[in-house]
Amino acid sequence: MRVEHQPLLTRNPCTQRHLISFHYGQPGRAGKVYLQASLHADELPGMLALHHLREMLDGAEARGQILGEIVLVPIANPIGLEQTLMHDAMGRFDFNSGENFNRRYPDLAETIKDRLAHELTGDADENRQIIRRAMASALKQIRPTSEIDSMRQAQLLLAHDADFVLDLHCDAQAVVHLYGETPCWSQIEPLARYIGAQASLLASGTGAGSFDEACGQPWWRLAEAFAGRFPIPSGCVAATVELRGEADVDHALARVDAAALYAFLQHRGILAGTPPPMPALLQPATPFDGSLTLRAPCAGLVVFLHKPGAWIERDEPVVHVIDPITGATQVVCSSTRGVMYMRSAIRFAAAGVELCKVAGATALEGGVMVSA
């Protein structure tokens, strides 16, 4: 295993942050998998899962069982990890720019599409390499003007040539769930099975400009753009995995998650050995546009009637919002049926605040807005 340090653009002359990556195996053998944790820097369960996965990979390396290339980035966001406000970690938004750390990644498909029209061939495998070289060239030509943009560039330079990309997050209070691209579900489903996802939310691009979309989306978009002209393989599949809630930083859970990731790497042929039998899919995949967000109808004390993972029926009461002055209780019901896969940690809400989400099987009228 080797360790690489990628310096980020510094904001001050006396400080310097680095993106640190751990590299197992050798490039060009049995494929590449890239895993990063805590892009939202206050979401820490994934960081602990990668800690335990590293221990397992160290053993695999000693036994000569790493067949491909594995890159781990346990601290994907050294900028956000340093941000606190009144003793509380604040790792979702950049204090300097106000940007969500998991937004505004470059659109590589759009950047390289015109160039590829003159370079692609009739050979799908050759086109995979042509596209990856074009991506690398486009990324290296970026001249970041902020620390956060230099971090995005560094992450994508590490991940752009991976066959599978995993971005490990968590929610406020949640069960394991994931987000992926609809065209890639057949390759994502084994991951959902191994990690025990209780919701798998799929979309053909949410417009968020998120890290996983920047990695995986260019391939199927380019395949659509050049359909009938050039064969383009599925060069990268990417998924965002939400490892429960922010407070679930627990050795026992992290070991379970690390073992699941290890099994998935065996399934992908990156690690030697027979993977354990693939578990049943806990819930069928549902459209991202079917995810119903329940909001507070008024300000008040929030009392949840269900825990994350509960099955919610249509019109079933989910939350009470209580006005402690008047004593009035507003009952918030679900207009869809499905798993309540996350809920807020807020227990006194202003009107309009997000309370929880239910993974419905049918797309909602008007679609779904990506959260801030």
The CATH number of whichever domain residue 343 belongs to comes to: 2.40.50.100
Residue whose C-alpha is closest to residue 206's, from 281, 296, 105: 105
For the record, the structure tokens of 3 come out as 């360790």
Residue 291: Cβ within 10 Å count: 24
The pTM is what? Answer: 0.96
Q: What is the CATH number of the domain that holds 22?
A: 3.40.630.10
Closest CA to 356 of 367, 340, 370, 372: 340
Q: At 336, list the tokens.
A: 């869809």
**What tens-digit pLDDT sequence spans the chain (372 residues)?**
999 999 999 988 889 999 999 999 998 889 999 999 999 999 999 999 999 999 999 999 999 999 999 999 999 999 999 999 999 999 999 999 999 999 999 999 999 999 999 999 999 999 999 999 999 999 999 999 999 999 999 999 999 999 999 999 999 999 999 999 999 999 999 999 999 999 999 999 777 899 999 999 999 999 999 999 999 999 999 999 999 999 999 999 999 999 999 999 999 999 999 999 999 999 999 999 999 999 999 999 999 999 999 999 999 999 999 999 999 999 999 999 999 999 999 999 999 999 999 999 999 987 777 877
Q: Same domain for 145 and 190? A: yes
The answer to whether residue 370 is domain-embedded is: no
- 295: which 2 tokens? 């909001």
| CA dihedral (39, 40, 42, 44) positive or negative | negative
Q: Which residue range forms the structural domain that includes residue 315? A: 289-360
Assess whether 84 and 188 both reside in one domain: yes
- Give Rg (Cα) of the chain: 21
> Are both 157 and 302 inside the same structural domain?
no
Tell me the Ramachandran region of residue 31: left when phi exceeds 0, alpha when psi lies from -120 to 50, beta otherwise: left
Note whether 352 and 302 are within 8 A (CB): no
Residues 258 and 305 in one domain: no
Centre a 10 Å sphere on the Cβ of residue 136 and count the other Cβ atoms it contains. 14
> Please, are residues 291 and 201 in contact by the beta-carbon 8 Å criterion?
yes
Sign of CA pseudo-dihedral 280, 72, 237, 368 = positive
Q: Does residue 190 share a domain with residue 58? A: yes
- Please indicate, yes or no, if residue 281 is contained in any of the structural domains: no
For residue 34, the tally of other CB atoms under 10 A from its CB is 25
Burial class (CB in 10 A: 0-12, 13-18, 19+), 210: buried
Q: Where are the beta strands (DSSP E) in the chain?
A: 2-7, 18-25, 32-37, 69-73, 84-85, 88-89, 164-171, 173-174, 177-181, 199-203, 237-245, 286-287, 291-295, 300-304, 311-312, 317-322, 329-333, 338-343, 348-349, 354-360
Give the chain's domain count.
2
Q: Which residue reads 């950049």 in tokens? A: 94
Question: Are residues 65 and 191 both part of a single domain?
Answer: yes
CA-to-CA separations, 86 to 39, 166, 320, 370, in angstroms, rounded: 21, 32, 30, 28
Domain final residue pick, 211, 233, 267: 267
Residues with Cβ < 8 Å from 127, sequence gap 6 or more? 120, 121, 230, 231, 232, 233
Flag whether 131 is in a domain.
yes
Mark out the alpha helices in 142-241 (DSSP H runs): 147-159, 185-195, 211-225
As to burial, measured by CB atoms within 10 angstroms (0-12 exposed, 13-18 middle, 19+ buried), residue 89 is: middle
Q: What DSSP string runs through 90-139?
A: --SB-TTT--BTTS----HHHHHHHHHTTT--S-HHHHHHHHHHHHHHHH
CB 232 within 8 A of CB 222: yes
**Both 298 and 261 in a single domain?**
no
